[in-house]
Amino acid sequence: MNDRSLRVGLLSRLGLVLVLLLTLDAVACYLTALYFANLVYDRWLIDSTRSLAQAVRSEHGQTQFDVPVVALQIFQFDEVDQTYFRVSSEKRGYLAGETSLRDVTSEPLNGIGLASGALAGQRVRIVSTRLAPALTGDIVTVTVAETLIKRVTLARDILLAMIAPQVALLTIALWLAWLGVSRGLKPLTDLAAQIEARDQNNLSPVPQTGLPREARVLAARINDLLGRLGNAMRAQKRFVADAAHQLRTPIAAVMLHAERAQRAPDGATEREALRALHRSVERAGRMSQQLLALARTDPEAVIAVELKPVDLVALARRIGEEWIPRALQRDIDFGLIVPESSVSVLGDERMLSELLSNLIDNALRYGDPAGRVSVVVEDRGQPKLSVQDDGPGIPEEERARIFERFYRVPGSAGEGCGLGLAIVEEIARLHNATVEVTGGSDARGSRFTVTFRPAELRRPR
């Protein structure tokens, strides 16, 4: 499970972006500060070079560089940086200063050359100027170099002065964002608290008023779910209540007939009471078997069922055979109309057997005695399984209701409990198939047809 807090997630993302921006800002700030520090200190360095160049003279037609030692010491005095110089001429070569200091080309004469370089392992800024002392025909280059400590320190000080308030601003912004996000999430935390405070029977909708749009969508989905849950629970309760009520009748009859048998004054009455007892037990047994069948078709239970190819022709033959004795009892002409080849559907053999048994059972019970019942398998694009009888049929207005649980057409013969067709419909639904009821052939009886989806679309739920 992902246990990240939405608030922490939002804020860490926001914080990351702000820190990134602050870093970019700091880099830009430092480079700008360094640029201006260079501009100022370069100007000083150029001034120093020019004043040193003034010490170059011409004496008797020869170039001279003549500066008192004290003046040079003053020139080189700097508490922070190191300053180097070098004077050389084209005619006389090296004249004074640091031998290893290289010149920077400066064009034209008296112009200024400026560059960054290194000296004695330190980064330095170098300025050179060239001059031609009068009457010497010589060209002298004066070069001055200075380490960068002052510049870097100045740039760093400017950076700190600018960044410190920005860091403070960033902290305040994150704190305000934390408050804002907490406030923004309050409707969600309130909603969660409300749901948590409910007891399990309270499935009434959660209020949507006062919620922001995004939370309203969530509340609406929760309400949808609560609504469906409520319907399912009501259906479940109704079913349990109906089942209890329906089971009471055969059980009361069992007790009644058992008592009658016990108190029977003679053998004939006792046998009669036992026969009635047997019928009641049969009825209670059938009903509990049907209730169990209905429970098995519950989608929760069906997840574990593996759907495999089932041949409808073989199924019709096998189940049909099981019902022959019952058909014979009622003198019913029981027939099978199936194609030569197999008709395969993807399904659960046990459930499909139950479905077909229920339809045949109904046809044999409600069809006319000495009538005709047929089980038909067809495959014209869509596999179909039908059971047809030539009994009284089902009035048009009742056809929609007969699939409801516990519903029986008023005045129905026999001792059914109205679950058989509900089971048929559930099993069909689990196979993505449909059940429909029509009149039988010759405008007599009824025909129940289960239509499966064509092979390539047969994807069970």
Residue ranges that bind ligand ADP, judged by CB under 6 A: 362-363, 366, 389, 391, 394, 402, 408-409, 412, 416-422, 446
> Shortest gap between Cβ of 283 and ligand ADP (angstroms)?
10
Residue 146 or 390: which CB sits closer to ligand ADP? 390
Q: Tell me the torsion sign for CA atoms 326, 283, 349, 394.
A: positive
Work out how close the CB of 314 gets to ligand ADP at its nearest, in angstroms, rounded to a whole number: 24
In the bound state, the residue with its beta carbon closest to ligand ADP is 416
The smaller minimum CB distance to ligand ADP, of residues 297 and 344, is found at: 297
Q: Cα separation of 433 and 453, whole Å?
A: 6
Which lies closer to ligand ADP via its Cβ, residue 64 or residue 438?
438
Min. distance of Cβ 406 from ligand ADP in angstroms?
8
SS3 content of the chain, % helix, strand, coil (to 5): 55, 20, 25
Shortest separation between residue 255's beta carbon and ligand ADP, angstroms: 22
C-alpha span between 58 and 133 (Å, rounded): 6
What 3-state class would DSSP assign to 282?
helix
Exposure class string for 383-412: b at 16+ Cβ within 10 A, else e:
bbbbbbbbbebbeeeebeebbebebbbeeb
CA distance 435 to 386: 9
Pairing of strands 372-380, 344-347: unpaired
In the bound state with ligand ADP, the residue whose beta carbon lies nearer, of 422 and 430, is 422
Beta carbon nearer to ligand ADP, 155 or 287: 287
In the complex, the smallest distance separating the C-beta of residue 292 from ligand ADP, rounded to whole angstroms, is 15
Other CB atoms within a 10 A radius of the CB of residue 448 amount to: 25
Is 86 or 296 the residue whose CB approaches ligand ADP more closely? 296
Minimum distance of ligand ADP from residue 311's CB (angstroms) = 25
Query: CA nearest 143: which of 71, 77, 83?
Result: 83
- CA-to-CA separations, 343 to 311, 316, 427, 459, in angstroms, rounded: 5, 11, 18, 16
